[in-house]
Chain A
Amino acid sequence: DQQVKQNSPSLSVQEGRISILNCDYTNSMFDYFLWYKKYPAEGPTFLISISSIKDKNEDGRFTVFLNKSAKHLSLHIVPSQPGDSAVYFCAATGTSYGKLTFGQGTILTVHP
């Protein structure tokens, strides 16, 4: 049972444009959501998070939106840069901040 789903395996975007990565979840007990970026053979790097009491959190070029009623969150990267090319994982938790449930990941490719 996949409680966190990233339905787009890959996304290709032109440099300077907006990248929108989507994530859906099914567990109503999740109340904290995170986005991680991962390069091959490396561990995930934290990008941005959002608590369920908010619907938006912004940090520089990265903005995360949360729609609790739809159980959906998205990560917006604007403007996209070639260095943003990586695998992006959304993750959620509702019990312990260390026990994360990850989505399958979306491969983002930003073309120069």
Chain B
Amino acid sequence: GAVVSQHPSWVICKSGTSVKIECRSLDFQATTMFWYRQFPKQSLMLMATSNEGSKATYEQGVEKDKFLINHASLTLSTLTVTSAHPEDSSFYICSAHRGADYNSPLHFGNGTRLTVT
């Protein structure tokens, strides 16, 4: 069964508004979660690493003030797309390692399809 849960699965919002996406690890604690983005017909690209209790680490080219990440507990990370624009429309996917074994593969949530009108 799923080990990482993501909500919502899809969202439509108007330009200029903010959208929050939640990522939860199910029955395990995740001190680190990872946020990826996939544009249509393209590969998944890592956006940022979410660290519980500290600031997220952003990949080059990703605006930290636009994509706010909060990892307030060991089972929940949130990504807020602020002042959304149509070019932010994408498929956002979170992921986590199960447990403390960093040799285990990354498990992904089911993703959130964001459409900004």
| Complex Cα gap A46–B49 (Å) | 19
Interface residues of chain A: helix, strand, loop or mixed (majority):
loop
**CB-based nearest A residue for B34:** A98
Contact B108 A45 (CB under 8 A): yes
A89 within 8 A of B: yes
Which residues of chain A are near B97, meaning CB under 8 Å? 97-98
Contact A89 B43 (CB under 8 A): yes
- Chain B, interface size category, equals 20 to 34
| Complex Cα gap A43–B111 (Å) | 5
| Complex Cα gap A82–B64 (Å) | 42
Contact A43 B43 (CB under 8 A): no
Contact A44 B93 (CB under 8 A): yes
B107 within 8 A of A: yes
- Chain A, interface size category, equals 20 to 34
**Given known A-B contacts A42-B111, A43-B111, A104 and B105 have beta carbons under 8 A apart:** no
Contact B105 A34 (CB under 8 A): yes
Contact A49 B44 (CB under 8 A): no
Interface of chain B residues 19 through 37 with chain A (CB within 8 A): 32-34
| Complex Cα gap A100–B34 (Å) | 10
**Chain B interface (Cβ within 8 Å of chain A)?**
4, 6, 9-10, 32-34, 42-46, 49, 91, 93, 95-97, 102-111, 113
